[in-house]
Amino acid sequence: METVVSGIRSTGKLHLGNYYGALSNFVKMQNEYNCFFFIADLHSLTTHPTPQDLQSTVRNVVVEYLAAGIDPEKSTIYIQSDVPEVAELYLYMNMNAYLGELERSTSFKDKIRANPNNVNAGLLTYPVLMACDILIHHGTKVPVGKDQEQHLEMTRTFGNRFNHLYQVDYFKEAFAFTYSDKLVKVPGLSGQGKMGKSNGEADCIYLSDTPEVIRKKIMRAVSDSGPTERNQTKPEAIQNLFDLMKVVSTADTLAHFEDLYNRCEIRYGDFKKQLAEDMVLATDPVRSRIEDISKDDAYIQKVVRMGAEKAQASAQKTIREVREIIGLKKLY
């Protein structure tokens, strides 16, 4: 059985993009693969969260993983920092990662442009830590989007470099993996780009948002004054709203509003109300489970403890073997 590895940074609540872009696929994968799904709290330290925020967001992601349908009996759900072997492998792999290749990383360039006053070593070596998350469990399938493909390529580079340096065939190559031929695009509400926390609260529909909050966000979503010609191309902001409807509404509902738009008869107030109600219905099962699971501290602790034990067993085996290969052997 091949191993799937994927993590989500603990930087806040999960949104609709996380659910349709990742979590819903995770639920399917766990029935066919050996799955490790982790909360990347070490990765989030590059942005220096407060201890209180870090702990609460880690807990939120665990709850939302469970609410989305990830089964701790079928998958390994764990917190990255509960597996110190990841940090140890990160140290070893950093010895074989070179400054030039790390500086060429697209994500590093993007991050230093966005935060020029926080160019820390963790940002530079971020691809190494991501590689270690995968290599520690010998993952071969990694559910990522196009923006992460360079990191996967670097993961293969680091693993192959280790194999070549020590003349072993130890680390396997990992490749991008999705269940569908076409990734689900979940756009944000701000009128451009995909849904993302970096664009602010108003851009996202969070899995834990109440129906009232969802309705307000949808009604305030960016739109325009309406089409002026029949069958005209939709501006990005309007296409985004139709793409959201494609995700949560029935095909008949979508076709109805497409037809109204093409005939220049659409009323955005009616369109948004329908979209909001469909969004409330689509998110209700997950939202209800989030509320129930959040109240059960004993269950959350049990899941995290069980996940840590399973992840550590896998990681400890890798570290023992890596130490042996490198030559880090006890003299006593």
pLDDT in tens, the chain (332 residues): 899 999 988 877 889 988 988 888 899 999 999 999 999 999 999 989 999 999 999 999 999 999 999 999 999 999 999 999 999 999 999 999 999 999 999 888 988 888 899 999 999 999 999 999 999 999 999 987 666 788 899 999 999 999 999 999 999 999 988 766 666 778 999 988 889 887 788 899 999 999 999 999 999 999 999 999 999 999 999 999 999 999 999 999 999 999 999 999 999 999 999 999 999 999 999 999 999 999 999 999 999 999 999 999 999 999 999 999 999 988 88
Residue with tokens 């004054």: 225
* Helix/strand/coil percentages in the chain, nearest 5: 60, 10, 35
Active-site residue list: 111, 194, 197
Question: Which residues are CB-contacts of 249 (< 8 A; sequence separation ≥ 6)?
Answer: 274, 275, 278
Question: By the 8 A CB rule, do 177 and 25 touch?
Answer: no
Using CA atoms, how far apart are residues 39 and 165, in angstroms rounded to an integer? 31
pLDDT at 179: 67
pLDDT at 144: 78
pLDDT at 288: 96
pLDDT at 212: 97
pLDDT at 185: 76
Residue 193: left (phi > 0), alpha (psi -120 to 50), or beta? left
pTM assigned to the model: 0.88
pLDDT at 331: 84
Q: Which of 310, 326, 306, 320 is nearest to 3 (CA)?
A: 310
Tell me the two tokens of residue 146.
Answer: 């196009």
